[in-house]
Amino acid sequence: MRLESYRSAELARGIARRIGELAARLDRPVALMEVCGTHTVALARHGLKTLLPPTLRLLSGPGCPVCVTAQRDLDRAIALAAPDGERPRRLLTFGDMLRVPGSAGSLETARARGAKVEIVYSPFAAVEAARAAPEKEIVFLGVGFETTAPAIAAMLQAARAEKLANLSVLPLLKVLPPALRALLASGEAGAPRLDGLLLPGHVSAIIGARPYEFLAREFGLPGVIAGFEPVDILDGIRLLLEQLVARRAAIEIAYRRVVAPEGNPEARRLLAEVFAPADAEWRGLGLIPGSGLRLAPEYAAFDADARFPLAAAAAAATGADSSARSGCRCGEILRGRLEPRGCPLFGRACTPERPLGPCMVSSEGACAAEFQYGGGGEGGGARP
């Protein structure tokens, strides 16, 4: 099918009608979670929720890598960016991280105070910067999921091959399946009862379908890997409802033009060579065993924490989540317990111009998507 077909209004309406029929057969409210932040944005941008029956509720999940970056990890990045009298240090980061509030400001405010913080669009910009200025320390802020990690791994391979002694990475990378397990196993009071998960196409292009099989096996939940065009997303929802009507639970791939069952073996091999599993802290979910990636022993010389221990120690002394102290409810939104308009700060004290938490900063954040495509801050409070 041609790409334009995945944006066909006629096809989308036809699938939406089928979703309505299936929802009527279930004869009960259904709650699905779109795990990926890109799905959240696409749902809002295309107004897809308006095509769905009122008994079907879609909740955002912990699939925005900027949003789930813990406060303490952000403070580590800010500490690394701060001038400290050592060799000049430049912190390179993707743009979404610039304005996320830390305990005392953000990378943007650190830059205003004289820190060398630069936005880049590829990890390989760090190699070019280190090669061009051997007298300066280049630190790359490694934030992302399995989608971003292979490019960072390839960058580290290149840096090692060139013996670039002035390049390091702050590894804040995370892997998604352990977070989904933690979310479902938490038994948190007041947590929504989920009936299925719309799984991320980009992450799944790397890891395949097998890492999600525990969803069906252990929790009895169906999961569907979906793409990001309107027809992709609606078809993923349809397949979830088909499973619910049939009272079965399995992991299906609705994005086969991109995702193979085994994922991308070369990318997985690259990740296994450069990284090793590590425990990681997630905003809203806490410390999750095996949910992060640290540098493998062969690449330990590129670990920014080890290279700059004073900055790491300064960040370790930071306190609780400053955005939570402000009343920001981003952590609850990432767990599916709250929708953006349920936060009393949404569109009032917290806007894209004055964000109090990462859900309003990131281009994949649920609050940013709702503000941009859902009518801004008008009429705050929870939607019916």
Q: For strand 137-144 and strand 167-173, is the pairing parallel, antiparallel, or unpaired?
A: parallel
The SS3 assignment for 65 reads helix
Q: Which two tokens stand for residue 218?
A: 């252990």
In a domain, 94, yes or no: yes
The 10s digit of each residue's pLDDT in 248-282 is 999 999 999 999 999 999 999 999 999 999 999 99
Partnered with residue 16 across adjacent β-strands are none
At residue 292 the predicted structure's pLDDT band, cuts being 50, 70 and 90, is: very high
118 or 188, greater pLDDT: 118
Q: What is the pLDDT of residue 312?
A: 62
Look at residues 281, 361, 380 and name the one whose alpha carbon lies nearest to residue 101. Answer: 361
In a domain, 151, yes or no: yes
CA distance 291 to 280: 6
Q: For strand 137-144 and strand 89-93, is the pairing parallel, antiparallel, or unpaired?
A: parallel
Q: Which two tokens stand for residue 159?
A: 């840096």
In a domain, 259, yes or no: no
CATH of the domain at 165: 3.40.50.11740
The reply to whether 183 and 327 lie within a common domain is no
What average pLDDT score do residues 306-331 get? 71
Residue where a domain stops, chosen among 270, 294, 314: 314
Look at residues 379, 297, 289, 364 and name the one whose alpha carbon lies nearest to residue 68. Answer: 364
- Given a contact cutoff of 8 angstroms between Cβ atoms, the answer to whether 358 and 283 are in contact is yes
Q: What is the pLDDT of residue 6?
A: 86
Please give the DSSP secondary-structure letter assigned to residue 49: G
What average pLDDT score do residues 101-118 get? 91
The reply to whether 34 and 158 lie within a common domain is no
The reply to whether 248 and 113 lie within a common domain is no
Q: What is the pLDDT of residue 60?
A: 95
Q: Report the run of H or E that residue 372 belongs to, with start and end.
A: helix 366-373
Angstrom CA distances, 362 to 160, 257, 369, 376, stand at 31, 28, 9, 16
The reply to whether 296 and 165 lie within a common domain is yes
Token pair 């479902």 in the structure block, residue: 184
The reply to whether 101 and 249 lie within a common domain is no
- Given a contact cutoff of 8 angstroms between Cβ atoms, the answer to whether 252 and 223 are in contact is yes
Q: Which two tokens stand for residue 96?
A: 């979404």
Q: What is the pLDDT of residue 104?
A: 82
In a domain, 261, yes or no: no
Q: Which of 107-111, 126-130, 266-270, 310-314 has the lowest mean pLDDT?
A: 310-314
Q: What is the pLDDT of residue 384?
A: 26
What average pLDDT score do residues 62-72 get? 94
Question: What's the angle, vertex CA 38, arms to CA 30 and CA 99, rounded to 5?
Answer: 120
Domain range spanning residue 359?
Answer: 323-369
The 10s digit of each residue's pLDDT in 358-370 is 999 998 999 999 9
What average pLDDT score do residues 62-75 get? 94
Q: What is the pLDDT of residue 240?
A: 98
CA distance 384 to 382: 6
The reply to whether 44 and 128 lie within a common domain is no
Residue where a domain stops, chosen among 314, 338, 359: 314
Q: Which two tokens stand for residue 265?
A: 């073996």
For the cut 90, the answer to whether the pLDDT of residue 380 exceeds it is no
In a domain, 381, yes or no: no
For the cut 90, the answer to whether the pLDDT of residue 186 exceeds it is no
Q: What is the pLDDT of residue 81?
A: 87
**Mean of per-residue pLDDT scores for the chain:** 91
- Give the whole-number percent of the chain exceeding pLDDT 70: 90
Q: Which two tokens stand for residue 323?
A: 């955005």
- Give the whole-number percent of the chain exceeding pLDDT 90: 82
203 or 317, greater pLDDT: 203
320 or 127, greater pLDDT: 127
pTM over 0.75: yes
CATH of the domain at 13: 3.40.50.11750
Question: What's the angle, vertex CA 283, arms to CA 281 and CA 288, rounded to 5?
Answer: 35
Q: Which of 47-56, 128-137, 216-225, 309-318 has the lowest mean pLDDT?
A: 309-318
What average pLDDT score do residues 230-254 get? 98
In a domain, 75, yes or no: yes
The reply to whether 144 and 219 lie within a common domain is no
Locate all alpha helices (DSSP H) within the chain, ordered by sequence. 9-26, 37-45, 65-68, 71-81, 107-112, 124-132, 149-162, 176-185, 201-207, 213-219, 230-246, 265-274, 304-307, 309-316, 322-325, 330-334, 358-361, 366-373
In a domain, 25, yes or no: yes
Look at residues 172, 230, 236 and name the one whose alpha carbon lies nearest to residue 204. Answer: 236
Q: Which two tokens stand for residue 361?
A: 């900063």
What average pLDDT score do residues 220-247 get? 97
Q: What is the pLDDT of residue 193?
A: 87
At residue 59 the predicted structure's pLDDT band, cuts being 50, 70 and 90, is: very high
The reply to whether 33 and 130 lie within a common domain is no
What average pLDDT score do residues 23-38 get? 95
Q: What is the pLDDT of residue 379?
A: 43
Say which residues have a Cβ less than 8 Å from residue 362's Cβ, sequence separation at least 6: 37, 64, 66, 67, 96, 100, 368
What average pLDDT score do residues 90-96 get? 95
The SS3 assignment for 25 reads helix
The reply to whether 309 and 330 lie within a common domain is no
The reply to whether 157 and 71 lie within a common domain is yes
- Given a contact cutoff of 8 angstroms between Cβ atoms, the answer to whether 91 and 122 are in contact is no
Total count of domains within the chain:
3
Q: What is the pLDDT of residue 3?
A: 64
